[in-house]
Amino acid sequence: MAAAPLALPRLGFLRRGRPILMRIAQAIPVVVGVVIISFVLTRALPGDPAVYFAGPTADEKSIAEVRAKLGLDKPLPTQFAIYAQDLLKGDLGTSLTTGQPVMEDLARRLPASLELTLAALLLSCAIAVPLGVLAATRPGSWVDHLCRVLVTAGVSMPTFFTGILLIYIFYYLLGWAPSPLGRLDFIYFEPSRVTGFFLVDAVLAGDWETFFAALRQLALPACTLALFTLAPIARMTRAAMLSALSSDFVRTARAAGLTKRKVVYGYALKNALLPVVTTLGMVFSFTLGANVLVEKVFAWPGIGSYAVEALVASDYAAVQGFVLAMALLFVALNLVIDLLYAAIDPRIGFKAR
């Protein structure tokens, strides 16, 4: 009988953690499906990596030797069995374009894309959410019109055009920005690698000169992506706030004599955050995989440009590693969104979803 109270906290922890484990278990078939589909689709892509790497002057015998060396002469089921066996060991293969293990390439390039994407989303949220709230509380005002103009401009302007325009203004004309050539200027050394995020690693190392140098390099590409991502966030914030402000509970709160600030930020905004969080997750997923144009414009060594180079060369291992990494990130992102739902509104749980 004395051991029962000690077991209660453990049972509570298991009860709270069980929905998370169930979500992870539900994601396993999705990941398996992504592995199978990516394997089949890469083999269906036009082009032959053996021909690409044998060279334009290679004869059929040389191409056959390269194909046998790459294991492409085996039947597809045998190739998939070998790939799945290596995958279970944590081996994603070797990239033919870089000559490095795909795991190392992804570990080196993924933090660059994540740092750029997260910086852009933080910047866009800092602008879009307050702007959407102000536009909803002041419909028809200049703030509302400004929100519509920014949303229209952000959606209509391609990211590569915005990036080139910002480079022309802030680097070429004004000279305020550093040269758009990667994550760090050549006169600086990379900080000691801990997380792969230059800003975080520089802070951990106490190297503030490198931190501000990396921040300057990050500013223009982050602004380019932020101008693109703030459009859906601002639009959803405005629509969700308009819906929340017209709800019965807001009218009741106003009738009870609560202040406007309490009604807007304490009740309306909290209920409007759920669709905003959903939109934010979708924008993050889309931006992480589609920021290749920004990476190309700013010579940013991210995962998007890595995937495009692998596709051009029909580099099967690199393409499959990229798709698998994106799938795992999306699964993790969906889990984080579910946790945010429960944190914003405790009435929403995993079972309800």
B/e letters for 317-350, b = 16+ CB within 10 Å, e = fewer, are bbbbbbbbbbbebbbebbeebbebbbeeeeeeeb
Of the candidates 216, 250, 241, 214, which has an alpha carbon nearest to the alpha carbon of residue 128? 241
DSSP sequence for 218-235? HHHHHHHHHHHHHHHHHH
User: Is the pLDDT assigned to residue 3 strictly greater than 80?
Assistant: no
Q: Whose CA is closest to 271, among 234, 233, 239, 229?
A: 239
Residue 55 has pLDDT above 70, yes or no: no
Q: What percent of the chain has pLDDT over 90?
A: 8
Q: Looking at the predicted structure, is the pLDDT value of residue 353 above 60?
A: no
- pLDDT, tens only, 124-155: 889 888 888 888 888 878 887 888 887 777 77
For residue 134, the model assigns a pLDDT of: 86
Residue-range domains of the chain with CATH? 102-344 (1.10.3720.10)
Q: Which residues contact 25 (CB under 8 A, 6 or more apart)?
A: none
Give 346 or 121, the one with higher predicted confidence: 121
What's the mean pLDDT when you consider all of the chain?
81
**Distance in angstroms between the alpha carbons of the first and the last residue of the chain:** 38
| pLDDT tops 70 at residue 256 | yes
Using the predicted structure, report yes or no on whether residue 300 has a pLDDT greater than 50. yes
Exposure string for 38-48, b = 16+ CB within 10 A, e = fewer: bbeebeeeeee
Tell me the average pLDDT across 155-169: 84
According to the model, what pLDDT value does residue 89 have?
A: 84
Going by pLDDT thresholds of 50, 70 and 90, the confidence category of residue 63 is confident
The residue written with tokens 């290749």 in the block is 292
Query: Which range, of 203-207, 288-292, 321-325, 346-350, averages the lowest pLDDT?
Result: 346-350
Taking 50 as the threshold, does the pLDDT of residue 184 lie above it?
A: yes
CA distance 178 to 191: 18
Distance CA 79, CA 311 (A): 19
Which tokens belong to 336? 């984080």
Phi, psi of 340 (to 5 degrees): -65, -35
Q: Which residue has the higher pLDDT, 235 or 45?
A: 235
Q: Which residue has the higher pLDDT, 187 or 24?
A: 187
Q: What is the pLDDT of residue 219?
A: 92
- pLDDT value at position 352? 44
Q: What is the pLDDT of residue 92?
A: 84
pLDDT at 13: 44
Residue 94 main-chain phi, psi, to 5 deg? -115, 135
Q: Which of 47-61, 96-110, 202-216, 233-247 is least confident?
A: 47-61
Q: C-alpha angle with apex 49: 48 to 52, nearest 5 degrees?
A: 90
pLDDT digits (tens, 9 = 90+) for 321-348: 888 888 888 888 877 777 777 776 666 5
> What pLDDT does 36 receive?
86
Percentage of residues in the chain having pLDDT higher than 70:
88
At 211 the pLDDT is 92
- pTM beyond 0.85: the answer is no
Least-confidence region, from 117-121, 215-219, 234-238, 331-335: 331-335
Q: State the Cα–Cα distance between residues 106 and 65, nearest whole angstrom.
A: 29
pLDDT, mean of residues 49-73: 74
pLDDT grade, residue 216 (50/70/90)?
very high
Residue 350 pLDDT more than 60?
Answer: no
DSSP classification of residue 282: H
Q: Tell me the average pLDDT across 251-266.
A: 80
In angstroms, rounded to a whole number, what is the distance separating the alpha carbons of residues 188 and 166? 23
| pLDDT the model gives residue 19 | 67
